[in-house]
Structure 1
Amino acid sequence: WGYAHCYTSEDERRAALPAWLHEYNHHRPHTACGNKPPITRLTNLSGQYT
């Protein structure tokens, strides 16, 4: 994220972080998680228990 794109300012780089984190944790498959995104490993998400 920080090096994959040439940002014109620190503010621009910081503004890009939340979207990158969401993609990385919610959509990008990880081999350590069985090719699922890390969010699938959480067991204490709000509303998960009924």
Structure 2
Amino acid sequence: RTKPYRPQTNGKVERFNRTLQEEWAYARPYASETERVAAFPAFLHTYNHDRGHTALKGDSPADRVPNLAGQYR
């Protein structure tokens, strides 16, 4: 959900949707929609834990969250 009349938030959601299309939904041919849906959790883990984000200066979102479950440092 986004806040009404908040273009910055809408832009972030639109960028995430574009990333989903380019890196998950249409990144490769899937034999079925079931196969595509099954690939989503792995993509989401990669997106949040392994993939660097330019807005975070190359860090992943998980790198920026203190005390993420299972990562007590």
After TM superposition, the score normalised by the length of structure 2 is 0.58
Kindly indicate which of the two structures has a greater share of residues assigned to helix: 2
Question: What's the C-alpha RMSD, in Å, of the aligned pairs?
Answer: 1.6
For residues 45 and 26 of structure 1, the distance between their equivalents in structure 2, rounded to whole angstroms, comes to 11
Partner of 1:4: 27
Superposed displacement of residue 44, structure 1: 5.9
Q: Which runs of 5+ in 1 are unaligned?
A: none
Question: Which structure carries more relative contact order (alpha carbon 8 Å, separation 6+)?
Answer: 1
Percent of pairs identical after alignment? 54
After TM superposition, the score normalised by the length of structure 1 is 0.79
Give aligned pairs, total. 49
